[in-house]
Amino acid sequence: MYTSVDTLIVGIPTIRPHKLSVTTMQVQTLVLVKITTEDGLVGWGEATTIGGLNYAAESPESVKANIEHYFAPLLLQDKSDNVAQTLKSIHKAINGNRFAKCAVQTALLDIQAQRLGVPLSELLGGRLRNSLPVLWTLASGDTDKDIAEAQKMIAAKRHNTFKLKIGANPWQQDVEHVIAIKQALGSDISVRVDVNRAWSEMDCIKGIQALQDGGIDLVEQPCAIENTDALRRLTERFDVAIMADEALTGPFSAYRVAKQYGAHVFAVKIAQSGGLLEAKEVATVAKLAGIDLYGGTMLEGPIGSIASAHTFATFDNLAFGTELFGPLLLTEDILQEPLQYRDFELHLPTGPGLGVVVDENKLDALRQQ
């Protein structure tokens, strides 16, 4: 059934330094998986993380090695065209490795959707929307630069909602930076923050109160991943939306947070969830618990971003939009035709599978491994 499984590491510079509490990115390293079938179909997947091991437990190098040494042999000896059985075999044989599993699952679903002649979203229940609102992250660390960048995006009708990455500085300094940007952009523009788990609970109490008073709409993962009790207490204490991100590592963690109503919003990420199907399960848990949804990103390139878009387009509730701006942060595109961003939204393709065509000549030029 599957004749080859190729894994590529591709490094693409960012348009500017992208400052987070855990690292400052100047190059994004994409891990791409290409699976080919005996009848000539090709599926693509992506397993991209942030800053090597700064963000998650899988690095680009470990993802590549594990796919080559563990996933590929399973796929190459699999003679079935039953994707569900193939995915079940992978889960039985391989523990953890959520990012690698997501990349392989994406490629397999891409192939299956192409075989059926339908967009990948149809395999996930069917899309409820053909485009998704996309915010932009302001992460230069410089207040004036961030204000100018936001105003440029608004004027170009590319983004009208903004998220600020904070947590690398003392909370008072970060809050001052955020409030200055909010005041410059005005009340009609939504501004959110992502602390990337950098604050103690005491800093959260003081910082979130100041952000709430300053008109900020959402605070993402303010405290440590493991401290879901603190996340719950902050959710109970504040009116501003508190969003769980790194605390969500798939359906079971989503259930643990949801059963104590430990967040107002879930940031759903396909790689962090372990796959598109698992991301759908996270969304279902949130729906049953009355928790709103936000379509998150690992700052993937176009393959991971469009796979996410196919998934998020099937969600009933996407109250806080998405952040699928990853391809726009990169200086190079790896598709023959770029993804379509206009009027503040990402427009989904209608072709079979992922609906995109990879430019393999560009990949060869950018390939690191």
Q: Which residues are catalytic?
A: 165
How far apart CA 148 and CA 37 sit, in angstroms, is 48
How far apart CA 225 and CA 89 sit, in angstroms, is 30
Both tokens assigned to 71 = 């996933």
CA 106 to chain CA centroid, Å, is 14
How far apart CA 302 and CA 318 sit, in angstroms, is 21
For residue 70, the 8-state DSSP code is I
How far apart CA 109 and CA 132 sit, in angstroms, is 21
Burial of 239 (0-12, 13-18, 19+ CB in 10 A): exposed
CA 216 to chain CA centroid, Å, is 22
How far apart CA 214 and CA 166 sit, in angstroms, is 15
- Taking alpha carbons only, the member of 292, 268, 301, 309 closest to residue 133 is 309
- Residue type at position 33: V
Query: 119 — phi, psi (to 5°)?
Result: -60, 150
Q: Residue 356, SS3? A: coil
Half-sphere exposure of 303 (CA within 13 A, CB side): 30
How far apart CA 193 and CA 17 sit, in angstroms, is 18
For residue 69, the 8-state DSSP code is I
Please name every residue paired with 7 in a beta bridge, in sequence order, or none if there are none.
33
- Taking alpha carbons only, the member of 71, 77, 75, 76 closest to residue 94 is 71
Phi-psi domain of 303 (left: phi exceeds 0; alpha: psi -120 through 50; beta: other): alpha
